[in-house]
Amino acid sequence: MIVLSWLVLLLPSAVSLARSGTLPTLDSLRVLLAGLALCVAHAVLGFAVGCWVPRIIATPIVAVADWITVAFTRAVLPYWPRHVSGQFGSVGYGEVPDLITAAVPVLLAGGIAAGLLVLWLPFGWRVVRVGVAVAVAVTGVLGAHRTASDWSATPPLTSGHVTMACAGSAPRMCVPEFDARRLPQVQRETAEALRVLREAGATTAGPELITDSYADGRLRKPSTDTEWRMVLAGAVGSGDATYQIVVRSLHFRCKQVPALNAHSAWLWAAVKTGQEDAYRKRRAQEGRDPVAMELEKRVRADVEQVLTEPAAEQSRWINQMLDSCEAKQS
């Protein structure tokens, strides 16, 4: 039974790794090893039941009861029952359950299984074995509970377990390796776009590193002035990454900015940096209702007029757009 359960876990993983030509890492094996240990612990529990219940019915009863018990923990509060049962929940790209997260269900099931094994030892006084077995089982159960009792729906995770590819400098851009086919070109376009905007007086941004925060999973790390973390997954391949960075570099001084001014600033920056197609694509994604079309008509007229002005006048205009605020309602 243990061998069959191990095959269920090992074969799909091995086939998937072989098809993708990927070697497993120690971090990626963490959950698999915990699963193998849980198979052994649950098999010991099933064997114990089989010692008291006829084996012909013990196997299906234990299998169904075990599955229902573990699955049902996802529907109860507090959250600790799901964590101690091995319900890790959804694991995002680049995420791996922490060591303690993988150890808690092994501690619970393994403690009970170890207690049963102590009972079956062929030597020693029975009273002593019972006492030691209870102590081992209770230690495992209470240890798992106390460890996971304060966890939220998401147990402790580690992130960033992704092979990254980087290109260029000033800024250096890094994205997951699978998304890096057009990275050198995008990095050159981005560096040129930021240079153009700085020379035009639209921004002072000069990040040294721009990295894809998609690899951070749900544990997003904050950006700094020199290191920008942005979700660029897919944007590098589609050609939208440079436009997203252009928008990021325009620092509006107010939280509420008139839509006309914001769109005008974005379109002006897009035209100056050769990202006008990306701007149009983004506006099309937001809808083509009459109000939006009228707004874009006014935006385009304003920007076309500004682009005919001298560089100094354009610099004054874009800073005026960035300084604009939505009028407060009285």
Task: State whether the Cα torsion 301-307-313-316 is positive or negative.
Answer: positive
CA distance 90 to 33: 18
Tell me the pLDDT of the chain (330 aa) as tens digits.
789 889 999 999 999 989 988 888 888 899 999 999 999 999 999 888 888 888 788 888 888 888 898 888 988 889 999 999 988 777 888 888 999 999 999 999 999 999 999 988 888 888 899 999 999 999 999 999 999 999 998 899 988 888 899 999 999 999 998 888 999 999 999 999 999 999 999 999 999 999 999 888 887 889 999 999 999 988 888 889 999 999 999 999 998 999 999 999 999 999 999 999 999 999 988 877 888 899 999 999 999 999 999 999 999 999 999 998 876 544
Burial class (CB in 10 A: 0-12, 13-18, 19+), 330: exposed
pTM of the model: 0.77
| Residue partners of 267: CB distance under 8 A and separation at least 6 | 276, 279, 299, 300, 303
CA–CA separation, 64 vs 51, rounded Å?
18
Where does 107-187 show beta strands of DSSP type E?
Answer: 157-158, 164-167, 172-176
